[in-house]
Amino acid sequence: MHRAAPALGLFAAARLTGTLVLAGWAWHIGRSPRALLASSWDSDWYTRIAAHGYGHTLHWPDGVVQSDLAFFPLYPGLVRAVTAVLPVTGGTAGLLLSWLSAGAAAWGIHRVGERLYGRPTAVVLVLLWGLLPHSIVLSMAYTEPLMTAFAAWSLDALLTRRWLWAGTLAALAGLSRPNGIAVAAAVLAAVAYALWRREGSRRLWAGAALAPAGWLSYVLWVGVRRGDPLGGYFAVQDGWTSRFDFGVGTLVFVRDMLRGPTQFGFAMALLITGAGVLLFALLALVERPPLPVLVYTGVLVVITVCGSGFFESKPRFLLPAFPLLLPVAHALTKARPRAAIVVITALAGLSFGYGVYALMLARMAL
């Protein structure tokens, strides 16, 4: 904690400033900042699950059926636990969990960055993650902070060969979000490499067994509940127009978007997603991180790019992919201080401004 203190302080300052900018605009137009952060978009689904359990379904006039079974259970379960202990509403409990998780994630990101490139790069890495254009999500009652915390600490455990910790944290990440399977993929890749080097042990096998258990257990539970153990969960996701189609849906959406006028949020989503792909190429070809870090990041990028539905949410899906920022963080630590300050200041302005736009002005899901 002592070594991570400067990074955590900068991260907290970045997120507090972004939240205050949002709150100022909300008060200016007569809206509640807390309501915006605690009950916008998916946040409302999570708090409903926490209060009433699963079983809520929306039927739209065009035939679309959206079930709350699409949302993984760990976060709403924790919200329910907090409301049982503290005299707060579900929305407030969700915010407390997200803010604590964001801090834990920043600490874990610092650990991974320091192990790979040293303390200066780790500090910049954490600050960049807190200043991403879509980092307003880290201040909302959303699941990305929780999953990122589990992912970062699981990767740290893999880098230090603590197999049971890595597998347990991967299982919890898999219970947090659909793309939490990326953490399990990282653990299994690291285990496979260790076995290839003939380094097998009971803890290694146990970590490998635990890693996908969280994700698989929920997917199978939903499938059994829907009467189709293997396909039930994916049918639920299909109702949300979310499916893995190897990028066909993404290409069709981008083609249609480029043919005529589009909303600023869609253009930003395209720009950020494209930047994510380029940064992954730099990470793989230039930085060459350890195998689990590369696999974790690659799986997140593939899920984001090759999945269809809710194109405007793709930047949020990339938020847990913090290793994408390693090439930028490494470069900034070697750059002249003035140049680094200019880049970080520009990113901060974009982050704070886009956070207000995405949550209060854009007519699209976050």
Question: 68: pLDDT confidence band, cut at 50, 70 and 90?
Answer: very high
Question: What percent of the chain clears pLDDT 90, i.e. is strictly above it?
Answer: 92
Q: Is the pLDDT of residue 365 over 90?
A: no
Integer Rg of the chain from CA: 20
Q: Are 6 and 125 in contact (CB under 8 A)?
A: no
Full DSSP string of 153-184: HHHHHHHTT-HHHHHHHHHHHHTT-GGGHHHH
Instruction: Report the candidate in 175, 170, 202 with the shortest Cα–Cα distance to residue 187.
Output: 170
| Residues 269, 314 contacting (CB under 8 angstroms) | yes
- Please check the confidence at residue 309 and state whether its pLDDT lies above 90: no
**pLDDT-based confidence at 336, cuts 50/70/90?**
very high
**Where does the pLDDT of residue 200 fall: very low under 50, low under 70, confident under 90, or very high at 90 and above?**
confident
Q: What is the mean pLDDT of residues 26-51?
A: 95
In this prediction, residues 221-234 reach a mean pLDDT of 96
Higher-confidence residue of 260 and 313: namely: 313
pLDDT in the model for residue 128:
98
For the chain, helix, strand, coil in percent to 5 are 75, 5, 20
Task: Give Cβ neighbours of residue 84 (< 8 Å, ≥ 6 apart).
Answer: none
